[in-house]
Structure 1
Amino acid sequence: MVLWLDKHRPMSLEKMQIHKEVSEQLMNITKSGDFPHLLIHGPSGAGKKTRIQALLREIYNNKIDKVKLENKDVSVGSDGSKTITVTALSSGYHLEITPSDSGYYDKYVVANMIKEVAETDSVDFLSTGSSASSHLKVIVLHEVDSLTREAQQALRRIMEKYSKSCRLILCANSTSKIIPPIRSRCMAVRIPAPSDEEISTVLQFVAKKENIKLVPEITQQICEKCDGNMRRALLMLESAKVEQYPFTKDQQVKLPGWEKFVEEIAKSIIADQTPQTLLKIRDDFFLLLTNCIAPDIIFKTLLLKLLDLLDGEQAHQVIELAAKFEHRMKCGSKPIFHLEAFVASVMSLCQSMFSF
């Protein structure tokens, strides 16, 4: 069974139903015969990865679909005595990788693995009928804004040294954490969050393809609850259809299970500031992390749920604590420590305020 999200994913830039001006801009870039390093940024669920895949297909046609999932060993450490395994998606024309998954060792992934790929040529290098852009090897790096500063410095040097043989497509949620030398060497393309009208249009398109009748009340609920995230909107539509169909006007579209779970954590923080509650919340965090919910997503969602339960000075102080521990979590290597420390600090704050 294929999720609707993947089943109805646009395969070309021309079929993109949102941000058509961005698609036209990218098509014009590829038609010129060459293209610069690209920095594609925007919020989660805006369609960055889908647009990158469509861009690669615009350059290499259907040849880009012949991909394989590889686990590569990368030497790390000053003496190279230790190795880590990095998962990459590759074809004869491109490589997709998320170096930040390697944590502190991301600089070695950039310096060694990406350098090795950049030194090779595309399989079309000797062909005479292909465009100039198809002679280039393309390296797609996801979550570039999560790279350490050392990894970004290594990436900058690679961009300069191998600009004749490869192009980098960097994908990030925000450019604020990317060093200026990288930003200045890329053409920045911002993919904004889709509007409610655009989300509604895509939902109607998918519903028509699946031969289901979508009532306006369901569409409105999804637009309100998806927070401008197209991926989330499509998953909520499919979930609502599985739960009850035909749709009714009074049917409620439920939030994802993990989000309800985080909401219960927030309520327990406000209701009971005891060591036993803290230990239970630690187990809840472990459960979320082992189910592949990203630590920064947990942190952001927990903060928003807490702010719904607090007001005034309390909310202001919780935001200050969140900024402090989110920064520590980015700098550290064990997110569970900083999530738990944030909860303990909020509990201490609530206890001191509610005692008066």
Structure 2
Amino acid sequence: FVVAAHCAGRGAAAGIAQRLLETLTNPFHIDGLEMCVGASIGISLSGQDGATPELLFQNADTAMYKAKALGASSYQFFEPEMSVEARRRLQVEAALRRALELGQFELYYQPRIDVRTWRLRGVEVLLRWKHPELGQVSPLEFIPIAEERGHIEAIGRWALREACRVGKRLSDQYGTQLHVSVNVSARQLRSAELVADVEQALRETGFAPRALELELTESALIDDIDQSVDVLHRLKRLGVKLALDDFGTGYSSLSYLKRFPVDVLKLDRSFFLEECPNGDEFVAALVHMAHALGLTVVAEGIETEEVMETLRGCRCDEAQGYLFARPMALAEFDKFLQCEVPGVLAA
């Protein structure tokens, strides 16, 4: 819907938007049921944001999508940088369609370290995209678009198989079993092909199922709890391990830990920030709870030795972060392993 109005300025336009939202969000009744709707409003001003009706509509539409991204019922004025963001998104969307086909994706590897011994326990695999014109595109930018546009299943399938292939090669090369952790997106979890994709990747590469760990977020799991429980049990039957990623950033319900057959709990880096009050005691309580449930605990985003001392005191199992190593390309990770192996990979 489009509203055209004479306004003395931004204040008057904002007043109209606020009154519209107040009216639209009022509850109403249909067949005895109370209903309510929300709205997102984008505003462009004639003379300031465009000289033609077409440009005004386009800019208001751009601002509306910015309002939608903020959530709830809100309004946003058009700002010039929004056009830059919109153009960037269109560029990323267009380039993403053929990125996999053109071999533009690469896996990076970040070590996971035993807290007590500082020995290498395994590695988390992270997806990276380097485009010839756009440069290095952040996963925070392209993964949501890949999920929205339906590309993530194919990308995730490639990443899973590549991670297993590399894991098998490195395990054979160094004569020890390398444990590999791969992220699974919400859309992959809802895909009917996920279990078959995992089974096929293991079969084709010969990678040991017990050495593969799939990381899933709380928000992905609770989208459809019954389906998630079913999929996780089927994955467990393949022999792979399951990790609950970013624990503490979502719902963090203990009932989910009871229902989901996970093996590993990954604590978000926000638990280890200095400004977190009673942080040490809280982390210790979480670790103790996880151990009582038979779970391994991995701390993410570790950057200082002081935090490592805290983790050691809490009896945390593993850690990863810049203190040990940044995510690295395969060639660099291979050199890292040459320094760590032989005799350093923990069983």
| TM-score where L is the length of structure 1 | 0.28
Q: Higher strand proportion, which one?
A: 2
| TM-score where L is the length of structure 2 | 0.28
Higher relative contact order (CA 8 A, sep 6+): 1
| Bigger CA radius of gyration | 2
